[in-house]
Structures are given as C-alpha cells and as structure tokens.
Amino acid sequence: AQKVTQAQTEISVVEKEDVTLDCVYETRDTTYYLFWYKQPPSGELVFLIRRNSFDEQNEISGRYSWNFQKSTSSFNFTITASQVVDSAVYFCALSRGGYQKVTFGTGTKLQVIP
C-alpha cells in the first residue's frame, strides 16, 4: 500500500522568511511519481511539480525548490522569501504511474503573515 505523510498540519511564517514543507512517502514500487499541489482559498488544486523516482535531481523554480531523497523517502518543498500569496494548503501526492490511483497526503496549511 502507498502512503504519504505530511506531519506539519499548519505552519505560520512572517513574510520573507523561508519555509520548508515536509513530505514522507511509503511505497514498495521501484517506479513511482511524486507531486506537489497548491490549494489556495478558492479551492482549486494547482499543479506545482512532478518528480519521477529515477530522477533524484533537485529542482528550483523561482522561489520554489524541491529536495527529493530516496534514501529517506522524502520529497520536501521549500519556499524562499515567502509572500502572502503563498498562503494556501499544500498537498504532496504519490502515484505508480499510468492511470494508477494517486495517494494524497493530508496537506499542510501555510499562512504567511505580512
């Protein structure tokens, strides 16, 4: 069975601080895919990144960066110089690929205080 754990339920930071959202996953598959989604107050989930299990390169996109470590089964997400617009619920997710089911974590609510 697949499982995604986001231990941080809620995080509050002051604007311009850096913040890291943790994601730990469990799977017996050798090939799998990891995702991060952002859910702003409007409710729609916005795709942020997909990572394949065979690609452990970290990725940076503007103020966002992702650290994938297979050795610790973690896929952490860091926002640098946080902004109020970053306030949202962030979900980490795991899939086997193809049409297989996506398993979502319970989400981390990030509040950026101006």
Partner 1 sequence: DGGITQSPKYLFRKEGQNVTLSCEQNLNHDAMYWYRQDPGQGLRLIYYSQIVNDFQKGDIAEGYSVSREKKESFPLTVTSAQKNPTAFYLCASSKPETSGAYNEQFFGPGTRLTVL
Binding residues (CB under 8 A) for partner 1: these are 9, 33, 35, 37, 42-47, 50, 52, 91, 95-102, 104-107
To the nearest whole angstrom, how small is the minimum distance from the Cβ of residue 14 to partner 1? Answer: 25
To the nearest whole angstrom, how small is the minimum distance from the Cβ of residue 88 to partner 1? Answer: 13
Cβ-based nearer residue to partner 1, 19 or 51: 51
Cβ-based nearer residue to partner 1, 11 or 102: 102
Give the type of residue at 90.
Y
Q: How far apart are CA 57 and CA 59, in angstroms?
A: 6
Cβ-based nearer residue to partner 1, 33 or 64: 33
Maximum alpha-carbon separation in the chain = 43
To the nearest whole angstrom, how small is the minimum distance from the Cβ of residue 77 to partner 1? Answer: 15
What is the token pair recorded at 78? Answer: 């860091």
Give the type of residue at 95.
S
Whole-number Cα distances in Å, 58 to 1, 8, 65, 108: 26, 22, 7, 21
